[in-house]
Amino acid sequence: MKDNKDNNEIYSYTEKGKKREKKQEKKEKRKSSGKQPLWRTVLLWFLVVILGVSGCGMVYYYRVLGNIGFQAITDRKNYTNEDNSQISSEVYKNQTTSLDLFDGVLLNDPKILNIMIFGEDSGAGSDTKYGRSDTMLMISIDNRHKKVKMTSFMRDMLVNIPYTDSERNPHGMDKLNAAYRLGGANLSVQTIEANFGVDIDRYAIVNFQSFKGIIDALGGIDIKLTQDEIDYINWQTYINNQSSERYEIQSEPGLVHLNGRQALWYARNRGYQEEEHPEFVVSGNDFDRTSRQRNLMRTLMNRFRKANFTEIVRIVAEIGPMITTNLKKDEITTLVANAPTYLSYGISEFRLPTGDGYKYSWFELQSVLEITDIQSQRTQLAKFIFGESAVIAHNTEVETNVPTEEPTYTGFSDTLSNTEDN
């Protein structure tokens, strides 16, 4: 025992022993004082800052979501060509596709999200609680083919409107935009589904005042205009007492910067010819108007292609309160998170009816677009949205049977986060 003790004592006086004793003394001092090493203190404060910033960010984002006008999802059903049988989305939401045009199920693909955009005129001239909708544009986010697809539905198409009025009388045949006047966005979605067989997942509503506010909140928009389009905007702003200047826009044709009020007139432009103002005439029609609406949407999407997540959240915060939608909060969160990916997709356009699928006609003293080949229109729409080779199109006559009984909600296929190919 003595030899061991002596050896230890000798060792403690070597250089290595002295260093070890000093380290031990420092440890004991730290323990007695309660101090932590510097790196631990720095790490702790770093984590506190990160968590604090993240927490504030989450609080801010949830406030953003809280400002969006949410609408409850009302009951809906799938419309079939033969018997209008009810099929829950649980049957097909996990399948790759359901793209048989004639199997009695709304066409859908879990990798494609269809959102209907309604432009609502709820001004003083509106005679119903729903207002009127002259803009019906479906945005399809196609994660299978990495595309964003825009489909315009012409408001003057003669269609069969499903279900009944308050007195249990079937709505029957009418212009497509009559569905919005009768039952708002829900009935409009149901009418498009019933007549054209494509599943519409969600919708968003922007009224005219909100549209102007959205464009102004984004700092205006730069868009290519012809001389006729410039003249039309100037004329409408002047005769509607929105500007004291007869020629508010004095730019040459080409890329022109528009504020929200001017952009709205651009989107509503279908030409002008009125008896009370023979001095001003601009040619155009509703086909031109829907083309401008798609061009406006394309311009907005191209503008934000390089936006990062923070910028997108800021944009949602500014325009969210101006939009009414039945998208759920978690669905909007997923859309926002994936927005940089979606904005990188190519953009393509379509319109119903197509050039070979209608004729001008009269219905109850109204000029309408009468569809001459509904089978062709349904097939062309399906192939545009889901892909030429994906759609199964049997050589069978199509009947657009529409239900008159109240619908049953079929759910929402989990499309939003499905951005990878199978």
Q: Are residues 58 and 162 in the same domain?
A: no
- Enter the tokens of residue 261: 């009020």
- Confidence (pLDDT) at 79: 39
Place of tokens 């999200």: 113
413 found inside a domain: no
Overall number of domains in the chain: 3
CB 293 within 8 Å of CB 152: yes
Does residue 170 form part of some domain? Answer: yes
Helix residue ranges, H only, 304-411: 309-319, 329-343, 374-386
Answer yes or no: is 47 within a domain. Answer: yes
**Residues 150 and 46 placed together within one structural domain of the fold:** no
Is 55 found in the same domain as 6? no
Where b means 16+ CB within 10 Å and e means fewer, 336-371 reads: bebbbebbebeebbbbbbeeebbeeeeeeeeebbbb
pLDDT at 33: 54
Same domain, 147 and 49: no
pLDDT at 94: 37
Query: Are residues 3 and 52 both part of a single domain?
Result: no
> 80 lies in a domain?
yes
pLDDT of res. 60: 46
Same domain, 331 and 378: yes
Nearest one of 208, 261, 216 to 234, comparing CA atoms: 261
Candidates 189, 146, 235, 173; CA nearest to 419 is 146
Show Cβ contacts of residue 30 under 8 Å, excluding neighbours closer than 6 positions. Answer: 36, 37
Residues 203, 334 within the same domain: yes
DSSP 406: P
In a domain, 184, yes or no: yes
* Short-list 182, 193, 191, CA closest to 114: 193
- At position 391, the amino acid (one-letter code) is V
CATH number of the domain that residue 330 is part of: 3.40.630.190
What is the rounded CA–CA span in Å between residue 383 and residue 391?
A: 6
Q: Is there a single domain that holds both residue 87 and residue 108?
A: yes
**What pLDDT was estimated at residue 12?**
47
List the structure tokens of 195.
Answer: 């007549």
Per-residue pLDDT, 122 = 74
Q: Look at residue 252 and tell me if it is in a domain.
A: no
CA–CA distance, 375 with 165 (Å, rounded to integer): 28
Residues 193 and 91 in one domain: yes
Q: State pTM to two decimals.
A: 0.76
pLDDT of the residue at 40: 62
Distance CA 235, CA 262 (A): 11
Q: Please state, in angstroms and rounded to a whole number, the distance separating the CA atoms of residues 272 and 233.
A: 11
CA distance 259 to 275: 29
Same domain, 98 and 16: no
pLDDT of residue 325: 93
Distance CA 299, CA 266 (A): 13
Last residue of a domain, one of 45, 66, 87: 66
Instruction: Please tell me whether residues 199 and 112 are part of one structural domain.
Output: yes
Q: Let me know if residue 343 belongs to a domain.
A: yes
Strand 202-207 to 112-121 pairing: parallel
- Alpha carbon 62 to its chain's center: 19
Containing 370, the helix (H) or strand (E) segment is strand 366-371
Answer whether 168's CB lies under 8 Å from 405's CB.
no
* Tens place of pLDDT per residue across the chain (422 aa): 545 544 444 444 455 555 666 666 655 655 555 555 666 666 665 665 555 544 444 444 555 566 667 676 554 444 333 322 222 232 223 334 445 666 667 889 999 999 999 999 876 555 667 888 889 999 999 999 999 999 999 999 999 999 888 888 889 999 999 999 999 999 999 999 999 999 999 999 999 889 999 999 999 999 999 999 999 999 999 999 999 999 999 999 999 999 999 999 999 999 999 999 999 999 999 999 999 999 999 999 998 888 888 888 888 888 888 999 999 988 988 998 899 999 999 999 999 999 889 999 999 999 999 999 998 999 999 999 998 877 776 544 444 455 555 443 333 444 554 544 44
15, 43: one domain:
no
Q: Note down the domain range covering 51.
A: 36-66
Bridge partners of 361, per DSSP, are 368
Residue 72: inside a domain, yes or no? yes
